[in-house]
Structure 1
Amino acid sequence: MLTGALWRRSVRDQGQQGGRMSDNTTDVRQEPPADDAASGRHAVVIGGGLAGMTTALQLADAGLRVTLLESRPRLGGLAFSFQRGDLTIDNGQHVYLRCCTAYRWFLDRVEGAHLAPLQDRLDVPVLDVGRASGPRLGRLRRSALPVPLHLAASLATYPHLSLAERASVGRAALALGRLDPADPELDGIDFATWLGRHGQTPRAIEALWDLVGVATLNATAANASTGLAAMVFKTGLLSDPGAADIGWAQVPLGDLHDTLARKALESAGVRVETGTRVREIRAARDGGWRVEIDGEGLDAHTVVLAVAQREAHALLPEGALANPDRLLDIATAPILNIHVRYDRKVLRRPFFTALGSPVQWVFDRTEAAGVKEGQYLAISQSAAQEEIDAPVAELRARYLPELERLLPPARQARVEDFFVTRERTATFAPTPGVGRLRPGAPTRAPGLYLAGAWTATGWPATMEGAVRSGFTAAGAALQDLGRPHEHPLKEAA
């Protein structure tokens, strides 16, 4: 749901950018060489999620003729909206952080940044209802002081930890800041073990580290690679005072990831084909690739597979990867989303997170969904392996009383609607050892590349990681085509 990481630059990690510029980008769009049109260079991008759309925009901005193929009837991948009666519902709550410069580039590129604003300063209400003395509200907030002092006041007064635990958290954070997230040894250690070695109690893990980590990694500390956890915490909390400020869409995700994105793609000259399933990718007799879809075959010099790892495995031509079955070893992790519509307002804040309750994060999505009366709340449950297949009736019996415990006004409210959305393969699982399984963008087959949050971005499975993978795939393709290009983010320079 959230994200944080570092960027390791390589020659292949450079890409071309165009369109609207933010303060994180440099305009390097160039007119295509005169011989490009004559050459008929054609790139086919398979997959219309954030990774595929980013790749397509980068390649089109560099002067290539691009076709984007998506099997679903809309763009956006797993961050999308759907209609339920007269309401527009997101499949789940997706947020980003100020440090997510690649996703911010994407928002700027599709002219949607104003529709997904960031907090002025990090402020997370944390409600603990597991205390014998009754519920207590705490807050994780930052100041304008430099790192690490920006969180010192909030941590010193955080009521959900003892004084000793607060001091130990500070020491662990300093040790975390000294880690290199790219260290292969860290990839093989689970984060709970690392935290235990640095004096973190089970309560500290529950009330702080997992509070952030489960939402960003889609795994508890015991099931997360220390390398990926270090990416999240080091970049999100220890790189810049404002790095962890939270942003989220004030409109349905489909407005950003489908409507505006499609407009940007078509304006860039990309041919967008939704509802189109790729059946086969094979080498063409005269070089290049033949992409077979229903009723048509597309010839291309460049093909980018920007689909989930199992789908990529099924489409990869023989020999494209040295060990393609490694893709099948990249496990997936689910996210469960519970949607409740009340006849009246029960939550005054835009969101909060909970301790001592099965409820994780609760967001007010009333205005974005188009609710005219009452209030609509979305509950985001990451690492939901134990509940992902639970019947709706069982989830209703479990979560409605929890919401009443967390939100007293809900006790007098009438439930107008209750429904569930399930993403059983929402992200790749960030388990220890996953780093060695994630492939880079180039394959062994010339002109064929991979993109997706599951590739070797160094980031967990987030919107940010997906966009960065698109930068990397496009950069690798453009380099192999001998096209000049620069990475669109200043941090990569």
Structure 2
Amino acid sequence: MTADAARPAHAVVVGGGLAGVTAALELADAGVRVTLLEGRPRLGGLAFSFRRGSLTVDNGQHVYLRCCTAYRWFLDRVGGADLAPLQDRLDVPVLDIAPAGGPRLGRLRRSALPVPLHLARSLATYPHLSLAERASVGRAALALKGLDLADPALDDTDFASWLRAHGQSDRTIEALWDLVGVATLNATAPHASLGLAAMVFKTGLLSEAGAADIGWAQVPLGDLHDTLARKALDAAGVRTELRARAAGLDRAADGSWRVVTDGETLDADAVVLAVPHREAHALLPEGALDAPDRLLEIGTSPILNVHVVYDRKVLRRPFFAALGTPVQWVFDRTDSSGLEGGGQYLALSQSVADDDIDQPVSVLRERYLPELERLLPAARGAGVRDFFVTRERTATFAPAPGVGRLRPGTRTRIPGLCLAGAWTATGWPATMEGAVRSGLSAAGTVLTTLGRTHDHPLQEAA
């Protein structure tokens, strides 16, 4: 199917998260007329900001790694790379409570040595594992490096079983493998596909020395994913419609598409569905996928974010991770939030939050404030100016064993209809990187369908 030569091809992108914005930009850059529909009053999907009094609050803490080449391209494309810098070198402070009762600091940081020696010195002095456990990590890492990510059998195995078979103790899994895996997969090792876990560790820690260097926004996420993204879309000629939710789509006899919204019907030569998988299932025309109900078998996993504003500075690092406590990762968001009147604003990112996601704020306050005082002595006696939570009950797809066979590719069985979203078969877990990759892939498929060519510098990423 190609558009009439007398008029430019028109594509409708449904969904204004990172996947949809990426697809819209890529299509517009290739000369396609694009309409982007987003049901919310903002862009950015689940990586957004909102106002709470004088604070600008991110709904959750999002980070990326140096190996996230597609998301880094996205930041460059919207003009936001300088606002979300990367560490010069991976350096993760890790706190637990020592047997003597006080906080104990370890670090996961890389040296200038090549893989796998770049982490050797850090692991050799990592206080949260015994000498034997540290030695076992190296052997497991070498075995992990040897796995073939294209082997479909990896998807059917859980990560914890593989780790135990390779000499990893429960403590080692908790203090190292899950420290990274929970944050990147939103699942603990027993509930994570070996295929996705291996992809995370091989790509982030065992490919290049700097691959796992961490980057995060120094401004509110909305500045990047909404304000700058909308500016880039406008400059590219994309028509962006907010508060416009697609209610249905149909394919006409001539192969064109009609997208029905609350207020109008749009004719299009191609459609990209860049919405969550359950929403995509509801919109898919009959025959679009061989087994569309498989989308409903893809589970979801929640993330809870706890926000605490103290009346004084209690943390002198930009972030840390924690062990042996309900607290997982803590970030200083004071500057990016615009906090006024002194003090410090900390954001706790709590993945795999099934036990806490529906708890009342009062219960969460009683649970987390004492834990922060255990980890941060300066918090003892500090006044709490504000305490609130944000909840994403379906934050990510669940990366459980077997999920690989449920994730569809970009291309559907109906020409001109493509899927995008971190839940599609990107090879990545549910991350900003996976979302952008899916948008690039969807745009490339649409362009092929329309008979267009557009060389993208990250074609291999899609």
Contact 2:447-2:454 at 8 Å conserved across structures: yes
Q: What SS does the aligned partner of 1:399 have?
A: helix
Q: What SS does the aligned partner of 1:286 have?
A: coil
Q: Which amino acid aligns with 2:358?
A: D
Say which of 342, 359, 373 aligns to 1:404: 373
Bigger mean CA offset, 342-351 vs 282-291: 282-291
1:343 and 2:343 aligned? no
For the residues of structure 2 that align with 1:43 and 1:77, how far apart are their CA atoms?
20
Q: Which amino acid aligns with 1:479?
A: T
Q: What SS does the aligned partner of 2:143 have?
A: helix
Bigger mean CA offset, 211-220 vs 283-292: 283-292
Contact 2:102-2:374 at 8 Å conserved across structures: no
Q: 2:6 aligns to what?
A: 38
For the residues of structure 2 that align with 1:374 and 1:252, how far apart are their CA atoms?
18
Query: How many residues were matched structurally?
Result: 460
- In the superposition, the TM-score normalised over structure 2's length comes to 0.98
Q: What SS does the aligned partner of 2:302 have?
A: strand
Q: 2:110 aligns to what?
A: 142
Say which of 145, 151, 160 aligns to 1:183: 151
How many angstroms does 1:485 deviate by?
2.5
Say which of 243, 252, 256 aligns to 1:288: 256
1:124 and 2:62 aligned? no
In the alignment, structure 2 segments of 5+ residues that lack a partner are: none
1:480 and 2:456 aligned? no
Q: Which amino acid aligns with 2:397?
A: F
Q: 1:245 aligns to what?
A: 213
1:205/1:145 Cα in 2 relative to 1: closer, same or farther (>3 Å)? Answer: same
Q: Which amino acid aligns with 2:58?
A: D
Q: 2:43 aligns to what?
A: 75
For the residues of structure 2 that align with 1:38 and 1:108, how far apart are their CA atoms?
34
Matches within 5 A, 1:29-428: 38-129=6-97, 131-132=99-100, 134-372=102-340, 373-428=342-397
Say which of 413, 430, 433 aligns to 1:461: 430
Contact 2:437-2:461 at 8 Å conserved across structures: no
How many angstroms does 1:295 deviate by?
2.1
1:130/1:320 Cα in 2 relative to 1: closer, same or farther (>3 Å)? Answer: farther
Contact 1:71-1:274 at 8 Å conserved across structures: yes
Q: What SS does the aligned partner of 1:412 have?
A: coil
RMSD: 1.4
For the residues of structure 2 that align with 1:487 and 1:476, how far apart are their CA atoms?
13
Bigger mean CA offset, 128-137 vs 325-334: 128-137
For the residues of structure 2 that align with 1:38 and 1:124, how far apart are their CA atoms?
57
How many angstroms does 1:492 deviate by?
5.1
- In the superposition, the TM-score normalised over structure 1's length comes to 0.92
For the residues of structure 2 that align with 1:124 and 1:295, how far apart are their CA atoms?
49
Contact 2:289-2:413 at 8 Å conserved across structures: yes
User: What does the per-residue CA deviation read over 1:204-251, in whole Å, with 9 as the maximum and x for residues that have no partner?
Assistant: 001000000000000000000000000100000011010000000000
1:172/1:288 Cα in 2 relative to 1: closer, same or farther (>3 Å)? Answer: same
How many angstroms does 1:285 deviate by?
3.8
Aligned residues: percent identity?
A: 78
Contact 1:182-1:458 at 8 Å conserved across structures: no
User: What does the per-residue CA deviation read over 1:247-301, in whole Å, with 9 as the maximum and x for residues that have no partner?
Assistant: 0000000000000000001100100001111111011243211000112100001
How many angstroms does 1:70 deviate by?
0.2
User: What does the per-residue CA deviation read over 1:57-77, in whole Å, with 9 as the maximum and x for residues that have no partner?
Assistant: 010000000000000000000
Q: What SS does the aligned partner of 1:38 have?
A: coil
For the residues of structure 1 that align with 2:73 and 2:196, how far apart are their CA atoms?
22
How many angstroms does 1:461 deviate by?
0.1
How many angstroms does 1:89 deviate by?
0.2
Q: Which amino acid aligns with 1:463?
A: M
Contact 2:123-2:134 at 8 Å conserved across structures: yes
How many angstroms does 1:180 deviate by?
1.5
For the residues of structure 2 that align with 1:272 and 1:296, how far apart are their CA atoms?
14
Contact 1:453-1:462 at 8 Å conserved across structures: yes
For the residues of structure 1 that align with 2:110 and 2:263, how far apart are their CA atoms?
56
How many angstroms does 1:491 deviate by?
5.2
User: What does the per-residue CA deviation read over 1:9-57, in whole Å, with 9 as the maximum and x for residues that have no partner?
Assistant: xxxxxxxxxxxxxxxxxxxxxxxx9x97723310000000000000000
In the alignment, structure 1 segments of 5+ residues that lack a partner are: 1-32
How many angstroms does 1:454 deviate by?
0.2
How many angstroms does 1:134 deviate by?
3.6
Q: Which amino acid aligns with 1:468?
A: R
For the residues of structure 2 that align with 1:204 and 1:361, how far apart are their CA atoms?
18
Contact 1:130-1:356 at 8 Å conserved across structures: no
How many angstroms does 1:351 deviate by?
0.2
Contact 2:301-2:393 at 8 Å conserved across structures: yes
How many angstroms does 1:108 deviate by?
0.1
Contact 1:130-1:355 at 8 Å conserved across structures: no
For the residues of structure 2 that align with 1:387 and 1:142, how far apart are their CA atoms?
33
Bigger mean CA offset, 110-119 vs 471-480: 471-480
Q: Which amino acid aligns with 2:318?
A: P
For the residues of structure 1 that align with 2:450 and 2:108, how far apart are their CA atoms?
48
1:443 and 2:379 aligned? no
